Amino acid sequence: MASSAPVHAAGEVTALRRTIEIREFQCNELALVRYGELAFVRACAKALNSLPVADYADVCNDMASGAANLYQWVTLLWKRNWSRQAVFHPWQRGRFLLEVPCGSGAYNLSSIFFDYDERKLPATIAAIRFPHPDGSSRFDIYNRGRGPQRGQLVEWAQARGMGDAGYYARYNLDKETLRPTLVEAMEKTAWDGKDPFQWDGRLSHKPRGTSWQRVYPTGATPSRR
C-alpha cells in the first residue's frame, strides 16, 4: 500500500520535499545521500526509469544519445555537464514540474515537461501534452519562459535570427492537474523583415504588429511550422 510519506528506522516521518537537485543526487537509484531521504530519492529514480526515451525520440532529436530511459537521459546530461540540465520546478510540497531538455537548433531549444508527484509512494510521473491551435497536441514545446508559481509557460519558436517570423504561444497550467490550456497563439510565416520580435523574458511580452496573425483564440488554422 502506498504511504503518504517515507519513514526511516527510528519511525520518524520525513517531510515532503520542496526541492530536488540533480547535482546533489536527490534523484538517484544508488541513493548516495543521507538516510532520511532514501525513500524519496529511490522513488524518484524508479519513476524516471519507468519511461523509455523511445516514447519521445521522434520529437526529441537529442534524446537518441546513449540513454534508454528518462533517468539515464537526465543523468547523462549531468555527467556530460551539458549547458542545459533537467530541472525540477517546485509546484507544491512533494510535487514538481520536471523540465527535460529535448532538442536543440540554431535559434530554439525544446523541452518536454512532466508532472512528477512524490506526495505518496511509489512516486508517479506523466508527460504533459500541450494543445495546438489546429486541435492536435504534442509533448515538446520551444519553452522560453516559466512561471510555475503563476502557472504560465511561454513558447517562442523563432524562424530566423532577426525574429521576423515564428510561432508564439502562451499556456496556463491547471493548479491541480497541471493540464495546460492554450491562452493565445500568434504566427508569422513571411521572412519580410517586418515586425521583428525577440522575447525579452517577461511572461507578458509577445509579438506586435499587423503582420502577425492571431491563430488562437480566433479559431483560425495556422500553417505548419
| Cα separation, 149 vs 65, whole angstroms | 32
222 with 167: CB under 8 angstroms? Answer: yes
Among 48-52, 131-135, 149-153, 191-195, the minimum mean pLDDT is found in: 149-153
pLDDT: which is higher, 57 or 188: 188
| Cα separation, 125 vs 121, whole angstroms | 11
Mean pLDDT score, 157-163: 95
What is the per-residue pLDDT across 100-137, written as a single tens digit (0 to 9) for each?
988 877 888 899 999 999 999 999 999 999 999 999 99
Share of the chain above pLDDT 90, in %: 57
What is the per-residue pLDDT across 27-85, written as a single tens digit (0 to 9) for each?
988 865 555 568 889 899 999 999 998 888 788 877 767 789 999 999 988 888 788 89
143 with 154: CB under 8 angstroms? Answer: yes
Query: Phi and psi (nearest 5°) for 224?
Result: -65, 145
CA quadruple 120, 125, 130, 135: dihedral positive or negative? negative
Distances (CA, A) of 54 to 57, 62, 66, 78: 5, 12, 11, 20
pTM of the model: 0.85
| Cα separation, 181 vs 179, whole angstroms | 7
